[in-house]
Chain A
Amino acid sequence: MSRLKNNKSLMQALSWIGMIIIAFIIFGIFLLMQGANPLEAYKNMFESTLTNQIGISKLILKSVPFILLAVATSISTRAGLVNVGVEGQLMIGMLFTITAANFLFTSLPTVLGLILLAIVGMLGGALYGGVAGLFRVKANMNETITTVVMNYISYFIVSLAVYGYLRDPEGFNWPMSTQISDSLTLPKLFGTVNIGIIIALLVVALVWYFINKTKTGFKMKVVCGNPNAAKNAGINVNKVRFFAMVATGAIAGLAGMIEICGVEGRLRTTTCQDYGYLGFLAAWMAWNNPVLSVATAVIISFLSVSGNVLEFKNNLPASSTQILMSIVLLAIMWRGKGRKES
């Protein structure tokens, strides 16, 4: 019996990898059509990203937000919700972080300041996610629609702040916030890589534990499986769903704090745009398994970092990376269709 199960898992793992290879073959055909040599293009992508410290650093740095946003999304999915809101929750998390960093905690010592900023960032994301959660449980509004709309609203809120009270007075009227003080940047592990990756992996472990080993995690599974049965079993379905939305928001807000304090240092109107959607896709590519989403987040990060080299070294159009990413995503999701749990 267990052997049968293992064989099944093996097949699934192999087919998952197989789909990625197929995606690269399809994209290779596209490259040929563009007059580029696919083998050379892939060689450039791997070499530039995986064989030197700068490339690996960028790969790790870029993976961090995708890991966190994917894990955040998977919590909501586990409670039976299709929450696309990590994009907006990330924005609001960044906004809260930069506001606190530039106006409240400017002169705090590093450790205290960063802990407070993490709390503030999570609070921002949790509030924004909580609003969508309220819409879901109080007004029975579809969370997919409300979160997408709220993502757009978050861009406007960020713009309003960046053009207004956050604007750098020495930035020649350019809409960007003042740089955060050096004492509030995340400590480095090596090179440009900061401790964000450790935080992200810790969060993954915590979420995995939470989903699989705690009572609330179990309740979420029941709600996801059959809300009516859950209700009959005495589970407060609305409470569980609201909690899932808030938890998703908090982790997305944490991702925002790490981006501001670890990578960007400023908030601009376009900072981290679309990261939330990529994180959402990373979660669904990983069948909403938090551990597996580390792998998918790294793949998305790899595509986005190495895609730059693909474009400028092989003279490919600027949209090539997006095309490659879409093919990989579609291929994996094709394989994963109908599958919710691992």
Chain B
Amino acid sequence: MKIMKKLLALGLCVSMMTAMVACGGSDSASTESTSAAGEKTTIGFIYVGASDDYGYNQAAYKGMEAVKAHFGDKVEILNQEKVPETSEASDVLEQMIQSGATILFPTSFGHLTPAEDVAKNYPNVIFEHQGGMETMPNLGTYFGTIWDPYYLAGIAAGHATKSNKLGFVAAFPISQSLANVNAYTLGAQSVNPDITTTVIFTGDWSDPAKQTEAANTLIADGCDVLAQHQDATKTIVELCEANNVYTVGYHADASELAPNMWLTAAVWDWSGLFVDICQAIMDGKWQGSQYDAIYRGGMAEGIVDLAPFGKAVPQEVQDEILALKAEMIAGTRHTFENEIKDQNGNVVCENGSFLSEEQVESMNYFVEGVIGTIE
């Protein structure tokens, strides 16, 4: 038995050594490729889900593709999908740095703390985190005022509902999600103040089983329009189509999945922003720029938008929404303005004022008319 162990150890050593030798032998090839690459900048993107999820990760992936198309040979792109929001993300980010990455995009909210752990050890690598509220000397954060198109989508939902009960499937009770639920509810209430929104949190960005369960519960409860803050939107959108319930999408246009029941969606377009951020970093102008901080863009910048309307939205409603959208872009209207009360009747926004982006993104309450608790 002892001999067997020794042999085994020997065998492992030999196999490792041959592996090393094999690597050593082809070293010349790898140095060649790096020298030929010259000034190539390596950019790493990590996503929490799949790049074809009709949602959050697909939107970020499209942003990456825009960077690739714009810079062409000047950049090398490293992509990793389905990176969990744990120290696993730190591992992948560090391995990307090891492979030469100098710009990193941790694109999920929960990638923030793992990214911070890596960022403090690599001061020369620039991190751009999606959706957070924290920054470091080499870590900026970007996001968009997605709640504005969500308010507009709420108007479409307010016109569509007959039961006056809207359903919302969210993932985590983070401020971004609360802001979307609140904006959506306020939009619908601008059509009919009696409308309520029932919220369910799934505790997961893209678990189809939990999404199905939550959506079915809401439908059984009488909700006839479902909206969502999930990363992968496909399951709920398809389920709505099958159950003749109107659906409001999120992150990306998924209208092809629900030709009859699709209303609209609040969607991202990261392409311009990602290219701009990378350009700033490659030009050495990132430090002190707007991206070296908490950057937020909106419909005016083209970062967030409303997806095309479905045939379930009548023309006059479309016109009404587009007119309001123009006012929002001009800055004369805001999603959270005038008197707004939370679930407990406390005034969270005074008449004649509106909430700043920072106030919206640190929301910790539901507005009046939302059914559900933040837990």
Contact = CB atoms under 8 A, between A and B. Distances in A.
A218 interface: no
A305 B91 CA distance: 8
B16 A6 contact: no
A48 B174 contact: no
Contacts of A173: 172-175, 178, 364, 374
Interface string A15-50: 011001100000000000000000000110011101
Interface in B152-177: 172-175
Contacts of B19: 42, 46, 50
Contacts of B109: 174
Interface string B94-127: 1110110000000001100100000000000000
Interface in A1-18: 6, 9-10, 12-14, 16-17
A270 B91 contact: no
Interface stretch (B77-85, B226-234, B290-298, B317-325): B77-85
A272 B5 CA distance: 30
A300 to B, nearest CB: 14
Nearest to B121: A192
Contacts of A51: 20, 23
Nearest to A40: B26
Contacts of B20: 46, 50-51
Given A270-B84, A308-B80, A311-B80, A175 B98 contact: no
A313 interface: yes
Residue with the highest number of chain A CB atoms closer than 10 Å, among B20, B26, B86: B86
B272 interface: no
Nearest to B171: A175
A271 B50 CA distance: 20
Contact of A9 (B4, B79, B95, B364): B4
A273 B4 contact: no
A312 interface: yes
Interface string B254-283: 000000000000000000000000000000
A175 B172 contact: yes
Given A54-B94, A55-B98, A312-B80, A47 B23 contact: yes
Contact of B98 (A21, A52, A272, A295): A52
Interface stretch (A120-128, A142-150, A261-269, A325-333): A261-269
B252 to A, nearest CB: 19
A172 interface: yes
A48 B99 contact: yes
B12 interface: yes
A224 interface: no
B72 interface: no
A6 B94 CA distance: 44
Interface residues of A, number: 50
Contacts of B374: 173
Contacts of A264: 86-87
A10 B9 CA distance: 12
B329 interface: no
A52 B97 CA distance: 13
Contact of B4 (A6, A17, A58, A308): A6
Contact of A292 (B8, B92, B98, B364): B8
A135 interface: no
A7 B344 CA distance: 79
Given A54-B98, A309-B99, A318 B82 contact: yes
Contact of A291 (B5, B85, B110): B5
A212 to B, nearest CB: 10
A43 B180 CA distance: 46
A118 B88 CA distance: 23
Interface string B62-85: 000000000000000011111011
A329 B172 CA distance: 36
A52 B99 CA distance: 12
B375 interface: yes
Contacts of B44: 312
Contacts of B375: 163
Nearest to A272: B86
Contacts of A52: 98
A17 B15 contact: yes
Given A21-B15, A174-B110, 13 more contacts: A9-B3, A16-B8, A43-B30, A47-B30, A51-B23, A58-B95, A163-B203, A173-B374, A268-B85, A309-B95, A312-B92, A318-B82, A342-B4
18 contacts: A6-B4, A13-B8, A48-B98, A50-B20, A54-B94, A58-B94, A172-B175, A173-B174, A174-B172, A174-B174, A175-B172, A266-B113, A270-B86, A273-B84, A295-B9, A308-B92, A311-B81, A312-B99
Interface of A: 6, 9-10, 12-14, 16-17, 20-21, 42-43, 46-48, 50-52, 54-55, 58, 159, 163, 172-176, 263-264, 266, 268-273, 291-292, 295, 305, 308-309, 311-313, 315, 317-318, 342
Chain A to chain B: the 9 pairs with minimum beta-carbon distance, closest first: A9-B4, A312-B78, A318-B81, A318-B82, A13-B8, A312-B80, A13-B7, A46-B19, A173-B173
